[in-house]
Structure 1
Amino acid sequence: MVEHGKGHPDRLPPGEQQITEVEADRLDEDGRHAGRLILTPDRIYFLDDDHSSGSHDDVIDHLGFQGAEVTGDDTIGTLALAWGDQGRVYEGDTIELKAFAKAIDDQLNP
């Protein structure tokens, strides 16, 4: 995982402080979107590398967060995040996705 201060800190809203991030592709009906999942003290963000306008970004408030599940083999994994009445699937390095999911758990259940 990438430590605080790397990646897209300029695209986070003012006042948000990055805890950790992981490189991931969002998989959805529009295809594959390369980007980064970023954990902050209050939210989880997916920031799409190709659309700085934010049109393919996700913002997941911790209050509505319902869960994270990682599946995969030794190299490629998927992370399913659920919140409110929504959910998204992200693909990336299995070990890094598991570490990101653990960081979410640590943040929400200290």
Structure 2
Amino acid sequence: MKSRTKLFGRLRFHPSMIQRTRTHAGTQFREEAGDVLATLVGYLNRDIKKINRLSSAVSAQKYIDDKHLGKRFSVQEQDLDDNLATPNNMVVYDKKKNAIHSVDGYTTAV
């Protein structure tokens, strides 16, 4: 069975710009943002959700400490797209699976 998902290439802009410019941008930017989000969902082949408390370093660390998940998750700021114009990404790592759990608060829905 062939997959209907498109191949995942480089994004034209940082995914966090979707939320930041949602109210201030024109219709063309909103359409492009929707295309990028659709590409991400198609590539992951899963639904995604946003956890607002995981979008900054301080709130993510506080969230992990409040839920007593310090042994399993760690928080780091990294520049994933190697672009100086975009802010660093907030990455939450799962230590047990040795994998990324969330990027800028976006994670896969279970």
TM-score, normalised relative to structure 2: 0.30
Q: Which of the pair has more CA radius of gyration?
A: 2
Structure number with higher relative contact order (C-alpha < 8 Å, ≥ 6 residues apart): 2
